Amino acid sequence: MADALELDVLWDEFHRVVNMTSQELAAWLKVSDADEETEPLPEHAGSPTGQHVLAILQKRRTDLTEDDISVMYEVVESVEAETDPSLEPTAGETAAADPSAQETERRHRLMTLGHDPLRP
């Protein structure tokens, strides 16, 4: 398990990148998984990672497991990689595809991890 200082840093980083509340994330996971014909049970809505992020948001730091810590590292790395401005595609790279559709897909991917890029 991570030492106390490392865990403190990870906890702060995780809560910095996960800028949605547990209620907002739970609602998003339900909406993102629903389609015209089916809607999953609330406890099964969303990706496994999204569900794990939701569970972490509902825990105290002292109750974290090794799996929780692993997911927290994964989420911090994924969100930072997706939001790094130096990795944004150039105008030539986005000309072939619809940029607004790509941005919507990117936002939805991030929201599944608990990060809404439209929030400051």
Report the chain (120 residues): mean pLDDT per 10 consecutive residues: 88 97 92 57 70 96 96 97 71 57 89 92
Structure confidence at residue 41 (pLDDT) = 52
Structure confidence at residue 6 (pLDDT) = 94
Structure confidence at residue 71 (pLDDT) = 97
Sign of the dihedral through C-alpha 73, 50, 1, 13? positive
Q: How far apart are CA 39 and CA 41, in angstroms?
A: 7
Q: What is the pTM of this model?
A: 0.79
Amino acid letter for position 53: V
* Residue owning tokens 């629903």: 34
Our CA dihedral for 78, 46, 60, 13, rounded to 10 degrees, sits at 20
φ, ψ of residue 43 to 5 degrees: the values are -75, -10
Structure confidence at residue 62 (pLDDT) = 92
Asked if residue 111 lies in contact with residue 20, where contact means CB atoms within 8 angstroms, the answer is yes
Q: How far apart are CA 39 and CA 63, in angstroms?
A: 31
Structure confidence at residue 95 (pLDDT) = 47
